Amino acid sequence: MEEWNKKHILGIKDLDRSEIETILSLAQSFKGISRRDVKKVPALRGKTIVNLFFENSTRTRTSFELAAKRLSADVLNFSASASSLNKGETIIDTIKTLEAYHPDIFVVRISSSASLPVLAKYTKASFVNAGDGQNEHPTQALLDMFTTQEVLGTLEGLNVLVVGDILHSRVARSDIFGFEKFGSHVTVCAPPTLIPYGFEEIGATISYELDKEIEKADVIIMLRVQKERQGMSYFPTLREYTQLFALTPERMRKAKKNVIVLHPSPVNWDEEICSSLKEKLHPLILKQAENGLAVRMAALFLVGTRRRTL
Amino acid sequence: MKILIKNATIVNANKVFKASILIEKEKIVSLAQRIRVKADKEIDAEGKYVFPGFIDMHAHFRTPGREDEEDLLSGAQAAVRGGYTTICCMPNTNPAIDNEARVKWLIEEAQKDDLIDLFPAGAITKERAGKELTEFTALRRAGAILVTDDGNALKDLLILRRALEYSKMAKVLIAEHCEETALTQKGSLREGYISSKYGIGAIPAIAESLIVARDIELARYLDARIHLMHISTARSIEIIKRAKKDGVRVSCETCPHYFSLTVDDVEAAQFSGNFKVNPPLGDKKDIEAVKKALRDGVIDCISTDHAPHSPAEKELPFEEAPFGFVGLETAFAISYTNLVKSKIMDLKNLAQKMSYNPARILGLEGRGKIAKNFKADIVIVDLSRAGTITEATFASKSKNSPFLGKEFFGVVETTIHNGRIVYSASSNE
């Protein structure tokens, strides 16, 4: 295995292909641990990991918490309410205060995009990004890639179709950067109002027609319809959105036989995915959660045991 | 008190010439090759350049309300350190400068320190709320020569129309902050590749040019004067250029950061709050357009938009940090280095952008030029020396500059205001 020397995992943007491969292959070996009778290894014993969540999250936080515990690290969960987030000073003061406990890793979720490099300066600990605003959610992309590799056997030369609210999605950004690093081609499919300005420059193909794109896709990543975006004229009604962009049995019939459908969870059934597809599609989406645990164990292990350089 | 500046290379907007300058009381009394007078103080300016004191049409002194970030004394000290002797301070204070008493109070307070001439800008609308006009004639009587709701563009076109019309009688200059907030929302960064790449709330370039176009149409229709502040986009410049050609009475300013930094610099600085400004930094095309517009006269002047902020505010994550840079101390060096030394324009143009044109636009007589009977507001600079911008560069209470660590040519050595030396680099070192 390649030697790991990145202090932080802030985004897929900052990782190169071989670093991603290192994480994925380590995740593969960690995946077995969770299936054992004794689901724990002493890999990070004596290390302290702080889950620093300035934004609500249950799934990602519990996944990180369990990942840390299975590596025998001590875990501290710190969730700040949305109100204290408004006073941004508290973010820095909070980090400085927790620094007094000499943590080794902060797992951070925050609503402010691209804010982690600045915040990481206030601690000696490593940062692992658990979602920063609309910028990145690197471990989600890593688990999407891990799952893809597990099912399709490769990450190269694939047609990846990301459907839904690209504009506000950190998952979409991380996935695009990740899959592109392996020479896969990403198409984003959404109404034009939910595609960021000038997004062609990112390297993704832009499409407004799911019906046209679906037959080419090897991997489909469906994004949640975010409730808070409704009624803001990104799309006129949920009805019109689902008619155009929901995954339906009719659309699935056009897709390749071995296509895989991923979703960052939780799924709003009958919004982005028709519930009659639940039986067929949900098992893999649930498997993503298992893989997420393995990927997060790998990420925490690598930054937690990296060779310290000056 | 008599001051004699010998061997000066004088830079006016129309010519550069060698002469000695005799200052008596508050005025320049003589300008000649050789002046034989016993002065109280002699300054040998051999090898140095002497500009008319700079005039900033756009600075924030945070008084009243946020005196922890800047007060009138620290603001004035920042000004003279940068060679500025006349300052127009913005009314977006708390409370806003929207009545004659507040204008008067600011002027009187500034006179106590007596470092600069302060011309507080008044608000266009009460409490800058965009609803009711302030008393322009009373503001003018108290000393406000410019009115603006800076920080906001006027949303209500009828109010803007009334303001432009009424200003003809009140003889105040209407200045507009050009931002269509319906399109900027809570954005922080110029909309484009980088905002999309990092998912950062974006401000489209047209948020500026839409208001520029709108205001120009209104000014044209009413044959009214309007001044457009901190212009930053190539498209705004095209619209202004066309309007000027058509005879619309529009003037405009830009700031040093709009011809020096791009959104790429924000990415390189890892989205430090110190790089957040409104309007946001643009791309290379904008920088080139701003430079060209300065050279061709489409942009009339360089203002600072000096915007002090506390460290606790600027160390916030990018999307939460407030907008703005300090700039009084650094504007000249940045402008000289990036415009004159890089051969975009000559020294005369720089004197025009920083002194002559602001005086003309504000209707300030007897300043903006080094000439007999003009005000003895003078700045002596050394163009051969370079300086690195550090926190110590700033006399301002705040240090929020994106130029920290950068080196620029042009050091302000001496600033004279009303015939008195108000700043001297040597006594400061």
Query: What pLDDT, in 10s, does the model give residues A57-72?
Result: 889 999 999 999 999 9
Residues B169 and B315 in one domain: yes
Residue B347 in domain: yes
Tell me, yes or no, whether B284 and B421 share the same domain.
no
- Provide, for chain B, the percentages of residues in helix, strand and coil under a 3-state DSSP scheme, each rounded to the nearest 5: 35, 25, 40
For chain A, what is the total number of helices (H) and then of strands (E)?
11, 9
The whole-angstrom separation of Cα A108 and Cα A112 is 11
| pLDDT tens readout for residues B76-134 | 999 999 999 999 999 999 999 999 999 999 999 999 999 999 999 999 999 999 999 99
Spatial separation of the C-alpha atoms in residues A213 and B27, rounded to whole Å:
76
Report yes or no on B367 lying in a domain: no
Å between B185 CA and nearest CA of chain A: 13
Q: Tell me the per-residue pLDDT of B25-48, one tens digit each, with 9 for 90 and over.
A: 999 999 999 999 999 999 999 999
Residues B110 and B34 in one domain: no
Residues of chain A positioned with their CB less than 8 A from the CB of B316: 88-89, 91-92
Q: Does residue B123 sit in the same domain as residue B217?
A: yes
In chain A, residues with a C-beta closer than 8 Å to the C-beta of B198 are 113-114, 135, 173
Does residue B117 sit in the same domain as residue B22?
no
CATH number of residue B40's parent domain: 2.30.40.10
Residues B326 and B424 in one domain: no
Based on the fold, state whether residues B159 and B29 are members of the same structural domain. no
> What ipTM does this complex have?
0.93
B202 has a chain A CB within 8 A of its CB: yes
Q: Is A168 on the interface with B (CB under 8 A)?
A: yes
Q: Is the pLDDT of residue A309 over 60?
A: no
Judged by CB atoms closer than 8 Å, whether chains meet at B193 and A91 is answered as no
* Residues ≥6 apart with Cβ < 8 Å to B173: B145, B146, B147, B167, B225, B227, B361, B362, B363
Pairwise CA distance, residues B386 & B236, whole Å: 33
Amino acid at B176: E
On whether both B21 and B58 belong to a single domain, the answer is no
- Residues B38 and B77 both lie in one domain: no
Considering the domain architecture, whether residues B277 and B417 belong to the same structural domain is answered as: no
Check the CA dihedral A87-A89-A92-A95 and report its sign: negative
Model-level pTM?
0.94
User: What pLDDT does A310 receive?
Assistant: 39
B192 closest CB neighbour out of A133, A136, A198: A198
Considering only the beta carbons, identify the residue of B199, B204, B315 that sits closest to A113.
B199
The CATH number assigned to the domain with range A138-288 reads 3.40.50.1370
Domain segments of chain A: what residues?
12-137+290-305, 138-288
Which of these is catalytic: B98, B286, B305, B382?
Answer: B305
- Number of domains, chain B: 2
Residues B14 and B148 both lie in one domain: no
Same domain, yes or no: B293 and B188: yes
Of the candidates A113, A119, A136, the beta carbon closest to that of B319 is on A113
In a domain, B143, yes or no: yes
A267-297 residue pLDDT tens: 999 999 999 999 999 999 999 999 999 999 9
| Residue B71 bears catalytic tag | no
- A106-117 pLDDT, tens digit per residue, is 999 999 999 999
Tell me the residue range of the domain where B125 lies. Answer: 52-362
**CATH number of the structural domain spanning residue B260:** 3.20.20.140
Return the structure tokens found at A109.
């979720």
What is the least distance, in Å, from the CA of A91 to any CA of chain B? 8
Question: Which residue, chain included where needed, has tokens 């690093």?
Answer: A181
Structure letter (DSSP) for residue A185: E
Q: pLDDT category, B428, cuts 50, 70, 90? A: low
Class of domain A12-137+290-305: alpha beta
B183 in contact with A, Cβ within 8 Å:
no
Q: Judging by beta carbons within 10 Å of its beta carbon (0-12, 13-18, 19+), is residue A56 exposed, middle or buried? A: exposed
- Name the minimum distance, in Å, from the CA of B151 to any CA of chain A: 21
First-to-final CA distance of chain B: 25
pLDDT of residue B379: 98
Q: Given this chain, do its domains A12-137+290-305 and A138-288 carry the same CATH topology?
A: yes
pLDDT of A231 > 80? The answer is no
